[in-house]
Amino acid sequence: MIETAEVKDRIREYILEEFAKSKGINQIADDEMLTANGILDSMGIFRLVAFLEDTFNVRVGDEEITNDNLESVDAIERLVTSKTRK
Amino acid sequence: MAYLLPQLLKKSAQAFPEKVAVWARGRSLSYRELEEGSNQLAHLLGKLGVKKGDRVGLFFPKSVESVISMLGVLKAGGVYVPLDPQAPASRAGYILGNCGIRILITNREKRQALGAAALASVEHCILTDQEETGKAGGVLEDAVLEWSSLGHFPLSYAPEVAMTEGDLAYILYTSGSTGEPKGVMLSHRNALTFVDWCAGEFRLSSDDRLCNHAPLHFDLSVFDIYNALEAGAAVYLITEDLALFPASLASFIESQRITIWYSVPSALTLLLLHGRLTAEKMKSLRVILFAGEVFPLKYLRELAEMAPGAELYNLYGPTETNVCTFYKVERDRLAKLDKLPIGIACANTEAFLITDDGWLARPGESGELCVRGPSVTHGYWGDEEKTQTMVVPNHLQTAFEEKIYRTGDMATLGADGNFYFGGRRDRMIKSRGYRIELGEIESALLSHAAVREAAALAVPDEIVGNRIRAVVCLHPTGPMPGVDLPQRILALQQHCASRLPPYMIPESIDFCAELPKTSTGKIDRIKLAAAG
């Protein structure tokens, strides 16, 4: 079982490298709203989901791709952890 | 009939005072509240010195205050300028300065992000978000005013400003090929020509429930807001917490029983691919409109099956004319159609094709689509030169003076009487429905000290229309050749991000020693695209 902190680190790292830095954002807080400030756009959401599925070996259904589950690093970690602990 | 946009609201506020007018993020406003709030804002703006024709900026995420602001500015006689809330400070600042905005409606976060340099022309900010408790300020003395200041002003009537339909209502900034965005000026008459046509064609009523998917700086939103007001219908503003999540959006359409949808095709494609759509969820939709880019027929056919009861329309038109042609999808033709028409001209609008030789195109012959009528823009703010190249005298008839707008889009007239889109004359592309001048991206890249040459290219994409790729050639003696590739790419993307909105930042950047050239010394874009 990977630790919560490590899950968050990997999610944060991916979002920073793939989406945030190219938009001039070099750090993100774990509770920062990723969708409200334009870090994630409509296509970015699906790349992020593909990353989560590959990295953490989980399956995220279309019905789970919601703001509540993906709005921040904290929220994404909760989604991933709820799946890996099943 | 209305000849000014706020008259649409006034009429519906009298007929349906307690009906929901606007909904956003779980909050709604009745028609009475919208009428009263916009009256109060108009009085405040008047006290701050806003006169007929003065520009007022709107720079905050979509909310019910957005619609109060639009109507309040218009009632004060002003011209509202909706800025992309995701635009970087330098671009927003350019627009504020370009059209001389003295009064900006914004929120705390956005105001802070703009910074002093971008706010140089702004004398007063009106903040839409909650004030900190215990902080009270004067109404007129302060450079920063709270939304609660509206409470000092009369709510039952608007200030009296003498206006006619030819006066400007709003300015929408779009990508400019020379490196700076350009402001398309639209009058009350321009907007109402389109609104009146829509009201008849789509038979809107006070029972309708519209969705506003497009950002407010995008002209698709003109239909959502003003046709709702015209009909006394409700408009649901789709914010990013719904817009980015197709399954949530599909559930929202179902739960709010949305009857009319209008968006770019890529939003519909994502709904089809990831929305877990069922015909049951789409049952309430009676009209689905799409515009801004070409809808791939494959997905349109899927949509037609998913919404068997809905009328589907392909709308066409640049911001400069709003919608000028339309095609009502013929379901019985859809299976065998090999290209989606952009249709026929809207009411009070003439559309025709002019060949490269300057003559009217014959049926089947390709020509530039030109538009004439009361929906056509007055031109670009502060750019008479650009205006004169785009809004030109109609040389095909010389009996009297009239102006036509050259869209830059090539089209043909089919045997079925419909126009068919056939690409661009210039280097403007569409991505997610946004107009993007590749030249503006190149200017941003070239403004980096390390860049010697730059070319921005569009890579066709089935879902978003186009993705953006750049090829860059660096100064051999500049600071960057020694930097490793990922860092170079990142540095240039970040440089672009400080000048361009997110949808214009190149997704990939390649480097080469020299860009390929044509025999006349221009960048050979065909060779570049083929090499990608």
Assign residue B94 the CATH number of its domain: 3.40.50.980
In a domain, B127, yes or no: yes
* pLDDT of res. B1: 80
pLDDT band at B134 (very low <50, low <70, confident <90, very high): low
- Using a CB-CB cut-off of 8 Å, the residues of chain A touching B241 are 35-36, 67, 71
**CB burial string A49-82: b at 16+ within 10 A, e below:** beebeeebebebebbbbbbebbbbbebbbebbbe
Is the CB of B241 less than 8 angstroms away from the CB of A36?
yes
* Chain A nearest C-alpha distance from B246 (Å): 8
Has residue B451 got a pLDDT over 80?
A: yes
CATH number of the CATH domain containing A75: 1.10.1200.10
- What ipTM was estimated for this complex? 0.91
- Using a CB-CB cut-off of 8 Å, the residues of chain A touching B243 are 42
* pLDDT of res. B135: 55
Segment holding A32, helix H or strand E: none
Has residue B136 got a pLDDT over 60?
A: no
Torsion of CA A19, A25, A29, A32, to 10 degrees: -70
Asked whether the beta carbons of B34 and B17 are under 8 A apart, the reply is no
Residues of chain B above pLDDT 90, percent? 86
Token code pair at residue B499: 């000048």
B321 and B438 fall within a common domain: no
3-state secondary structure of A76: helix
Give the pLDDT mean for B413-422: 96
Has residue B261 got a pLDDT over 60?
A: yes
B11 and B101 fall within a common domain: yes
Read off the amino acid at residue B177: S
* pLDDT of res. B248: 95
B90 and B136 fall within a common domain: yes
Give the pLDDT mean for B217-221: 96
* pLDDT of res. B527: 87
3-state secondary structure of B484: coil
- Using a CB-CB cut-off of 8 Å, the residues of chain B touching A42 are 243-244, 266-267, 270, 432
Q: Count of domains in chain B?
A: 3
Q: Where a domain ends, among B186, B202, B232?
A: B186
Q: Angle CA(B426)–CA(B351)–CA(B174) in degrees, nearest 5?
A: 40
- Using a CB-CB cut-off of 8 Å, the residues of chain A touching B270 are 42
Asked whether the beta carbons of B450 and B478 are under 8 A apart, the reply is yes
Is the CB of A22 less than 8 angstroms away from the CB of B267?
no
B180 and B266 fall within a common domain: no
Has residue A37 got a pLDDT over 90?
A: no
C-alpha B357/C-alpha B264 separation (Å) is 34
Q: Angle CA(B146)–CA(B148)–CA(B153) in degrees, nearest 5?
A: 115
pTM above 0.80, yes or no: yes
In a domain, B210, yes or no: no
3-state secondary structure of B184: strand
Give the pLDDT mean for A37-53: 90
C-alpha B120/C-alpha B163 separation (Å) is 30
Give the pLDDT mean for B33-44: 98
Give the pLDDT mean for B132-160: 81
Residues of chain A above pLDDT 70, percent? 98
pLDDT band at B434 (very low <50, low <70, confident <90, very high): very high
Has residue B137 got a pLDDT over 90?
A: no
Q: Chain-wide mean pLDDT for chain A?
A: 91
C-alpha B486/C-alpha B381 separation (Å) is 40
* Chain B nearest C-alpha distance from A35 (Å): 6
pLDDT tens per residue, range B515-527:
988 877 888 888 8
pLDDT band at B288 (very low <50, low <70, confident <90, very high): very high
C-alpha B467/C-alpha B432 separation (Å) is 9
Q: Where a domain ends, among B167, B186, B205?
A: B186
Give the pLDDT mean for B477-499: 88
- Using a CB-CB cut-off of 8 Å, the residues of chain B touching A36 are 61, 240-241
Which residue does chain B place closest to A25, by CA atoms?
A: B494
C-alpha B439/C-alpha B418 separation (Å) is 32
In a domain, B199, yes or no: no
Is the CB of A63 less than 8 angstroms away from the CB of B88?
no
Has residue B132 got a pLDDT over 80?
A: no
DSSP state of A7: H
3-state secondary structure of B280: coil
B380 and B442 fall within a common domain: no
Q: Where are the beta strands (DSSP E) in B2-84?
A: 20-24, 27-30, 55-59, 79-82
Query: Given the DSSP bridges, would you call strands B103-106 and B124-127 parallel, antiparallel or unpaired?
Result: parallel
Q: Count of domains in chain A?
A: 1
* pLDDT of res. B133: 57
Token code pair at residue B162: 């003498």
Pick from B252, B239, B271, B241: nearest CA to A69: B241
In a domain, B213, yes or no: no
B23 and B113 fall within a common domain: yes
Facing residue for B274 by CB, picked from A35, A65, A67: A65
Facing residue for B241 by CB, picked from A21, A24, A35: A35
pLDDT tens per residue, range B105-119:
999 999 999 999 999
C-alpha B149/C-alpha B125 separation (Å) is 12
Is the CB of A45 less than 8 angstroms away from the CB of B498?
no
B436 and B422 fall within a common domain: no
Q: What is the largest CA-CA distance in chain A?
A: 37
B328 and B443 fall within a common domain: no
Asked whether the beta carbons of B368 and B410 are under 8 A apart, the reply is yes
Has residue B338 got a pLDDT over 60?
A: yes
Residues of chain B above pLDDT 70, percent? 98
Q: Where are the beta strands (DSSP E) in B14-94?
A: 20-24, 27-30, 55-59, 79-82
C-alpha B413/C-alpha B353 separation (Å) is 8
Give the pLDDT mean for B19-48: 97
**CB burial string A4-20: b at 16+ within 10 A, e below:** eeebbebbbebbbeebb
Has residue A62 got a pLDDT over 60?
A: yes
CATH number of the CATH domain containing B507: 3.30.300.30
Which residue does chain B place closest to A68, by CA atoms?
A: B241
Q: What is the largest CA-CA distance in chain B?
A: 71
In a domain, B227, yes or no: no
B270 and B403 fall within a common domain: yes
B419 and B442 fall within a common domain: no
Q: Where a domain ends, among B186, B212, B230?
A: B186
Has residue B75 got a pLDDT over 70?
A: yes
Has residue B417 got a pLDDT over 60?
A: yes
Has residue B463 got a pLDDT over 70?
A: yes
Give the pLDDT mean for A61-78: 95
* Chain A nearest C-alpha distance from B223 (Å): 23
Mutate to test the interface with A, among B59, B245, B490, B505 (most CBs of A within 10 A): B245
pLDDT tens per residue, range A17-34:
999 998 888 899 999 999
Inform me whether the C-beta atom of residue A4 falls under 8 Å from chain B C-beta atoms.
no
Give the pLDDT mean for B376-404: 93
Asked whether the beta carbons of B199 and B460 are under 8 A apart, the reply is no
Instruction: Supply the range of the domain harboring residue A18.
Output: 4-84
Inform me whether the C-beta atom of residue B503 falls under 8 Å from chain A C-beta atoms.
yes
* Chain B nearest C-alpha distance from A42 (Å): 5
Has residue B179 got a pLDDT over 90?
A: no
Asked whether the beta carbons of B409 and B321 are under 8 A apart, the reply is no
Has residue B251 got a pLDDT over 80?
A: yes
B30 and B127 fall within a common domain: yes
Give the pLDDT mean for B491-502: 94
Most confident by average pLDDT, B134-138, B429-433, B519-523: B429-433
Inform me whether the C-beta atom of residue A65 falls under 8 Å from chain B C-beta atoms.
yes
How many Å from the N-terminal Cα to the C-terminal Cα in chain B? 55
In a domain, B228, yes or no: no
Distance of CA A21 to the CA centre of its chain: 15
C-alpha B253/C-alpha B245 separation (Å) is 12
Pick from B527, B530, B485: nearest CA to B508: B485
Q: Chain-wide mean pLDDT for chain B?
A: 94
CATH number of the CATH domain containing B409: 3.40.50.12780
Inform me whether the C-beta atom of residue A38 falls under 8 Å from chain B C-beta atoms.
yes
Instruction: Supply the range of the domain harboring residue B406.
Output: 244-426
